[in-house]
Structures are given as C-alpha cells and as structure tokens.
Amino acid sequence: SLIPVVLSGGSGTRLWPLSREKYPKQLLPLIGEDSLLQTTVRRMKGFPGIKVDAPLIVCNEEYRFIIAEQLRLMEIKGSILLEPAGRNTAPALTLAAMAAVREGDDPILLVMPADHVIMDITSFQSAVQQGVPLAAEGAVITFGITPDSAETGYGYIQAGEPMGDNGVCRIARFVEKPDVATAQRYVDSGSYFWNSGLFMMRASVWLSAIGTCRRDILAACRVAWDHGSVDGDFLRVNKEEFTRCPSDSIDYAVMEHITADNNSLPTGVLIPLSAGWSDVGAWDSLWDVLPKDQQGNVLQGDVLLHECRNTLVLSEHRLVACVGLEDMVVVETPDAILVAHMSETQHVKKVVDSLKSQG
C-alpha cells in the first residue's frame, strides 16, 4: 500500500503578510477555500488502481490543532506526527518511516511538501502510478520539473540512463541548490530537471539510506521514536531526544549521494512531472498558477481594478481599489498591507526579517 506523507514545516516568510508564524502558508486558504495542506491531502483521493492508506502529516506540535481541524473538515482520518522542534526534512521523513513500519509492514511512502500547487491531478497521479512498481522494487523515486530559469532555491537532477516510457530514467546526479552560474549551465545543458520536492520510496529503503548516509540522524530519531507515545491520532516523539537530533534535509543528507555508480545506496529514479507544479515560494509564483482575468490580474476579496495588468490583488477585509497598476502585488490584511513589484517579491522576506529584528 501507499502512505501519503505530508511534510508541513516552514513558515513561508516570503508570503507575508498573509503567511505568519502563527499561521504558516500551507495552512492558509491561499487558493480557493482549501489550504495548501488540504489540497495536498485531497490530491490523493480517487487514485486509480492503488490502495492509498490514511495520510501521515508531519508537523511542529504547535500546529496540531489547526491541522487536526483541517483534516476533520474534509472528513479525512489521518495521523499527525508531532515534532517538538524543526530538524528539517531528513529527520521528519525518518520519523515518518518509523511510524509506517511499526506494525511490521513496509509500505511505500509518497513524500509531499505541504506548500506546493499541482494543477493537473491526472498527470500527477499517473506519474506516481508509474513510480509505484519501481519503488516497490527498492528504488528512490524523484519527480523532475523541466526548468525554465536558473532558480537557485531548487535541487537539480541530471537525467541518466533511460528506463522506460515517458522519459523515466536513472538519476545520474543530484545537486541541491547550486549557485546561479552552475544552475544556468544545468538549464542550458538540457539534461537537468528541477527537483519537485516529491519523493517516493519504501519506508525500509529510506531507513537504510539514511542509516548509510547519516547514522547519527537515524540513531537520534530511533531513540526519540522509541521513547515517544501514541495519543489518539497524534504520534509524539521524545522531546529531549529529538531536540538532540542533527538538522539536515532529505536532499543534502541522502539525495546528493545517490549517483549512477554508488552501489551502497538505492537506485535513484527520475520521473518527469508535467502537472502545473509550483512551489508557491513567493507571490510571483502564486500569481503564475492562479486563474487570471483577461488582463492577467489575479483578484481575491473586495477588489476593484481599473486599467491594471498582471497584478495580484488580495483583500482580506477592506475594499482595495487599484488604478493603472502593472506587474504589482497588493495584499491587504487587518494589520498590514504589502505593496510590491512582481519581480521583487522574492525579497519580501527581508521586510519580515527586519520586522523580527525590531521585535
């Protein structure tokens, strides 16, 4: 069977003022009525031909009630694994794998970030379906996006030996967050994909890979898990022990070591994904994926536009009127308003940083 594992860490400071520490972006209804977390869980419904088990959400314990409530509203029963502190994605997945094997099974985990948009569910589901038999045989599956810029916030996967239809191939090499010159070379070469951040592998395959690459992380998670407890739908780990766990990402800890000729790690497989993927890191990437009017404007809430083009205007509780704007983002909330140029929205986190340092 297949267990959806949803990673819900991070607070998404580039989507300020909507995304806040108390309410991180994946828990907000950014698009339509559902939060990104709810959309992520819903994406697993009605999967043809595969038995999909209840999802496992891994999150900071601070968000347990919001997340439990969001699942309840969708009438979805899932487990919520609570981290007493953020230790990045490698420990988060290690705990999820321990939870998944606890009844003696060895299910396939479909690891999904909670803060992504995937517009085309059918293509997404068929890419996952292609990966299932390969994951069952012990491979680590990644889903690659054709890059359109030298984005440095992503992992890059070099396509290796072909393995079948639809561009499925071995991973030749995985490079996490290269510098911009290297990223540009990769994009120009045409043989690299962006890492979507979705992964799929058997629980035991991850546990053995993390044990090979980062014995310290595996050991720390093991103790934290063994001294944890089950509290209804909440799975708790031992706070002191987990706090001692080193911090690292799936990408740096394991994926960068998976190469075509490393036989001590599982085979890495790349499945191209063309499903309207966006990691909604900042307002500009959110604008990219949202439905627009004929002038390219994305509007939400009480908004009035005149002669505007390619804007994103969002109002939470006041009327917002814009005249003659082009390539602008305006986000109104009860206590803060953002006005930014679309091409500069990556820098919104600098505002948040300076707000934080002012206390």
Minimum separation from the CB atom of position 337 to ligand GDD (A): 26
Q: What is the token pair recorded at 235?
A: 């799975």
User: Of these, 2, 5, 9, 94, which contacts ligand GDD (CB under 6 A)?
Assistant: 9
Minimum separation from the CB atom of position 325 to ligand GDD (A): 29
- Name the burial class of residue 51, with classes exposed (0-12), middle (13-18) and buried (19+) by CB atoms within 10 angstroms of its CB: exposed
Q: What is the token pair recorded at 140?
A: 């680590």
User: Of these, 241, 248, 251, 332, which contacts ligand GDD (CB under 6 A)?
Assistant: 251
For 346, half-sphere exposure in the C-beta direction (CA atoms, 13 angstrom radius) is 5
Minimum separation from the CB atom of position 36 to ligand GDD (A): 9
Minimum separation from the CB atom of position 278 to ligand GDD (A): 9
Stretch that binds ligand GDD, among 5-13, 125-133, 181-189, 264-272 (CB under 6 A): 5-13
Which of residues 53 and 176 has its CB atom nearest to ligand GDD in the complex?
Answer: 176
* 192-202/108-113 β-pairing: antiparallel
Minimum separation from the CB atom of position 276 to ligand GDD (A): 14
Which of residues 90 and 108 has its CB atom nearest to ligand GDD in the complex?
Answer: 90
Stretch that binds ligand GDD, among 1-9, 183-191, 220-228, 345-353 (CB under 6 A): 1-9
Q: Are 140 and 253 in contact (CB under 8 A)?
A: no
Whose CB is nearest to ligand GDD? 9
Stretch that binds ligand GDD, among 47-55, 72-80, 151-159, 163-171 (CB under 6 A): 151-159
Minimum separation from the CB atom of position 322 to ligand GDD (A): 30
- Name the burial class of residue 66, with classes exposed (0-12), middle (13-18) and buried (19+) by CB atoms within 10 angstroms of its CB: middle
Q: Of 106, 19, 6, nearest to 59 (Cα)?
A: 6
Site for ligand GDD in 183-212 (CB under 6 A): 194-195, 197
Fill in the DSSP letter of residue 249. Answer: -
Q: Which x/- pattern, by CB under 6 A, does the window 288-327 give for ligand GDD?
A: ----------------------------------------
Per the document, the length of the chain is 359
Stretch that binds ligand GDD, among 6-14, 158-166, 217-225, 258-266 (CB under 6 A): 6-14
Minimum separation from the CB atom of position 178 to ligand GDD (A): 10
Minimum separation from the CB atom of position 298 to ligand GDD (A): 21
CA–CA dist 200, 203 (Å, integer): 9
Which of residues 92 and 320 has its CB atom nearest to ligand GDD in the complex?
Answer: 92
Alpha-helix runs per DSSP H in the chain: 36-42, 64-73, 89-100, 121-136, 180-189, 203-213, 215-226, 239-243, 250-253, 283-289, 348-358
The structure tokens 């953002």 sit at: 338
Q: Does 155 bind ligand GDD (CB under 6 A)?
A: yes
303-315 as b/e: b if 16+ CB within 10 A: bebeebeebbbbb
- Name the burial class of residue 12, with classes exposed (0-12), middle (13-18) and buried (19+) by CB atoms within 10 angstroms of its CB: buried
Q: Which x/- pattern, by CB under 6 A, does the window 50-69 give for ligand GDD?
A: --------xx----------
Site for ligand GDD in 71-130 (CB under 6 A): 83, 86-89, 92, 113-115
Which of residues 12 and 266 has its CB atom nearest to ligand GDD in the complex?
Answer: 12
CA–CA dist 153, 306 (Å, integer): 35
Neighbours of 358 (CB within 10 A): 6
Q: Are 283 and 340 in contact (CB under 8 A)?
A: yes
Number of residues that bind ligand GDD (CB under 6 A): 24
Residue ranges binding ligand GDD (CB under 6 A): 7-10, 58-59, 83, 86-89, 92, 113-115, 153-155, 176, 194-195, 197, 251, 279
